[in-house]
Amino acid sequence: QVQLVESGGGLVQAGGSLRLSCAASGISRITVMGWYRRAPGKERELVATIGTGAVITYADSVKGRFTITGDIAKKTVSLQMNSLKPEDTAVYYCTAADITPYWGQGTQVTVSS
């Protein structure tokens, strides 16, 4: 049974920080893990990914504020979010993939102004 268990969402004031964590299980092989988000009324968008060999990708909107770390072999990934802005408010989804992408249930991040 595939599971991606997320933790760490919540409510924070603008300028604050949150840390999201995710642990995957039931997936035999993973080559990339990361985070996407869906804001109200918008499509899901990439936030950050980390792949085999520590190849990292960030959305332009979070560069310099968010840091992704992870251990693909241990099937864990975290996202440190600093200098949060109201426009970062969204449901954040953990993802893990080799060929098939798997998704967590999502965790709400709300940034108040």
The first and second tokens of residue 109, run together, are 């991040």
pLDDT at 54: 84
Taking the CB of residue 88, how many other CB atoms lie within 10 A of it?
A: 22
Altogether, the residues listed in the chain come to a count of 113
State how far the Cα of 7 lies from the Cα of 84, in Å rounded to an integer: 17
| pLDDT per position as a tens digit, 91-104 | 999 999 988 999 99
Helix or strand (DSSP H, E) at 79: strand 76-81
Q: First vs last Cα of the chain: how many Å apart?
A: 40
- CA angle, 25 then 9 then 4, to 5°: 10
| pLDDT per position as a tens digit, 32-71 | 999 999 999 999 999 999 999 889 999 999 999 999 999 9
Q: What residues pair up with 96 in beta bridges, in sequence order?
A: 33, 102
Closest by Cα among 89, 69, 93, 94 to 79: 69
